[in-house]
Amino acid sequence: MFRALIYAGALLLGAVIPFTERTKTDFDTFLRLLNPYGHWVKQSNVWFYEPFQPYIPLTEGQWIYTDFGWYWNGTRPFSWATDHYGAWKLGQDNVWRWKPDPDWQPAKVEWRGTSEFIGWRATSMNRFGEITEPEAERYNHPGEWIFVPRKKLTGSLTPADIITGEKGKTLLDQSEAVNHTYVSWREIDRLGPDPYDVYGVAKSFLAQQTMGAQAEKAVNIAGDDDASPIIVAAPAPSAGSADSKDKEKEKKPPIYTIYSLPDFYYIVKFNPLKPFDLYIYRPEIFQDSDGIQRRLDVWHNPKVQKANLEKVNRVLEHGTLIIDGKGSSTSSSTTAAPVDSASASTASDSDNSTPTSTASTTTTSSSGADSSSSSSSSTSSSLLRKTR
**CB crowding 193-229: b at 16 or more within 10 Å, else e:** bbbbebbeeebbbbbbbbeeeeeeeeeeeeeeeeeee
Check pLDDT > 80 for residue 83.
yes
Is residue 293 included in any domain, yes or no? no
pLDDT of res. 20: 84
Query: Are both 275 and 335 inside the same structural domain?
Result: no
pLDDT of res. 309: 74
Check pLDDT > 90 for residue 120.
yes
DSSP-assigned letters across all residues of 266-283: ------TT-TTEEEE--P
* Element spanning 47, H or E: strand 46-51
pLDDT of res. 69: 95
Query: Are both 268 and 307 inside the same structural domain?
Result: no
Query: Are both 281 and 310 inside the same structural domain?
Result: no
pLDDT of res. 247: 53
Measured CA to CA in angstroms, residue 91 lies from 43, 95, 293 at distances of 10, 5, 19
Distance of CA 15 to the CA centre of its chain: 21
Is residue 235 included in any domain, yes or no? no
Query: Are both 38 and 183 inside the same structural domain?
Result: yes
* Better-predicted residue by pLDDT, 187 or 330: 187
Query: Are both 269 and 383 inside the same structural domain?
Result: no
Cα angle 40, 43, 44; round to 5 = 145
Owning domain of residue 28: 22-199+254-285
Check pLDDT > 50 for residue 386.
no
14: exposed, middle or buried (C-beta count within 10 Å: 0-12, 13-18, 19+)? exposed
Query: Are both 260 and 360 inside the same structural domain?
Result: no
Condensed to tens digits (0 to 9), the pLDDT of residues 351-379 reads: 444 344 333 333 333 334 444 444 444 44
d(CA 123, CA 139): 11
Q: Are 107 and 161 in contact (CB under 8 A)?
A: no
Check pLDDT > 60 for residue 87.
yes
Query: Are both 61 and 185 inside the same structural domain?
Result: yes
Is residue 331 included in any domain, yes or no? yes
Give the whole-number percent of the chain exceeding pLDDT 90: 46
Query: Are both 30 and 72 inside the same structural domain?
Result: yes
The pLDDT-based confidence of 7 (bands split at 50, 70, 90) is very low
d(CA 198, CA 230): 32
Is residue 226 included in any domain, yes or no? no
Condensed to tens digits (0 to 9), the pLDDT of residues 180-228 reads: 998 878 889 999 999 999 988 765 444 443 333 333 333 333 333 333 3
**Least confident residue range of 34-48, 250-264, 315-329:** 315-329
The pLDDT-based confidence of 317 (bands split at 50, 70, 90) is confident
Summary mean pLDDT of the chain: 74
Is residue 11 included in any domain, yes or no? no
Cα angle 140, 146, 148; round to 5 = 140
Is residue 149 included in any domain, yes or no? yes
The pLDDT-based confidence of 387 (bands split at 50, 70, 90) is very low
Query: Which DSSP state fits 119?
Result: E
Query: Are both 377 and 276 inside the same structural domain?
Result: no
Which residues share a beta bridge with 353? none
pLDDT of res. 9: 46
Query: Are both 73 and 134 inside the same structural domain?
Result: yes
Measured CA to CA in angstroms, residue 236 lies from 53, 202, 215, 216, 249 at distances of 56, 16, 9, 10, 15
d(CA 269, CA 368): 47
Structural domain total, the chain: 2
pLDDT of res. 18: 59
Is residue 229 included in any domain, yes or no? no
Is residue 12 included in any domain, yes or no? no
Condensed to tens digits (0 to 9), the pLDDT of residues 140-169 reads: 888 899 999 999 999 999 999 999 888 999
Query: Are both 102 and 68 inside the same structural domain?
Result: yes
Query: Are both 120 and 171 inside the same structural domain?
Result: yes
